[in-house]
Amino acid sequence: MDSMAKRLAIIQSCYIPWRGFFDFVRRVDEYVIFDDVQFAKRHWHNRNKIKTGQGTCWLTIPVESKGKFEQKINQTRIAEPWAQTHWRSISHAYAKAPFFKSYGPAIEALYQRAAELDHLSLVNHLFLSELARLLNILTPIRWSTELSGQGQKTDRLISLCLAAEATHYLSGPSARSYIDPGKFAEAGITLEWMDYAGYPEYPQLHGAFEPAVTILDLIFNTGPDAGHYLDRA
């Protein structure tokens, strides 16, 4: 891209996401947290997996959802204390990882901070921003509510891109089912697609390699080399 181009990503927030999420964020000039959209149960918004001696295990943040079928992600409140339990599970699973002693205190401090927050979006933002910094990913992060997005689906994404003065939009592959490429072309915005194929395996605890786990697995197992495993073959 030329020096005047600006690549934007607009992604709903996730709880301690996998390495592909952070690779996505580092490939753009700005990441917009798309949290003024509907919260979905059994999604990555409030849960993710760690690898344990008994296989993969879900860590789920309990949220208030009963009777709130149309609440937005940024309206979703945390239902009960959770952070200490999650950290206990992580500590047990990764105590023998090569870099747990080096990075454990910093991650534990994040959980202590997260325990004081009452909304899911704030928790996710905390982990996303601090873990990105740990991985030396310096992409600016902002909220979609800071921009004047209008419309639905493709139209909403385009309006956010225009408000952020983006010339390129990087989309996740799952959005192919609803994005209209023609509308991006009409708006003068170059539509690009993220490819998650080709990430190399890295040393893991607990048996056969499992790619679909939180970024904490990569950090505790590879330490300062974690960033190298964000590069695709």
pLDDT in tens, 144-154: 999 977 878 89
Which contacts of 185-190 are long-range, i.e. CB under 8 A and separated by 24 or more positions?
187/158, 187/161, 187/162, 189/158, 189/161, 189/162
The number of domains in the chain is: 1
**Per the domain annotation, does 219 fall within a domain?**
yes
Range of the domain at 53: 7-227
Answer yes or no: is 67 within a domain. Answer: yes
pLDDT at position 42: 82
Given a cut of 50, the residues of the chain with pLDDT beneath it are none
pTM value surpassing 0.75: yes
3-state class of 77 per DSSP?
A: strand
In a domain, 233, yes or no: no
Look at residue 232 in the predicted model and tell me its pLDDT. 86
The answer to whether position 33 is within a domain reads yes
Angle between helices 120-134 and 100-114 (to 10 degrees): 150
β-pair partners for 56: 51
Q: Please tell me the predicted confidence (pLDDT) of residue 148.
A: 77
Is 63 in a helix, a strand, or coil? strand
In a domain, 116, yes or no: yes
Q: How far apart are CA 171 and CA 48, in angstroms?
A: 21
| Residue 3 confidence (pLDDT) | 67
Would residue 59 count as lying in a domain?
yes
Q: How far is CA 209 from CA 17, 116, 218, in A?
A: 17, 34, 11
Domain membership flag for residue 153: yes
What whole-number percentage of the chain has pLDDT above 70?
98
Quote the Cα angle for 15-220-135, to 5°: 65
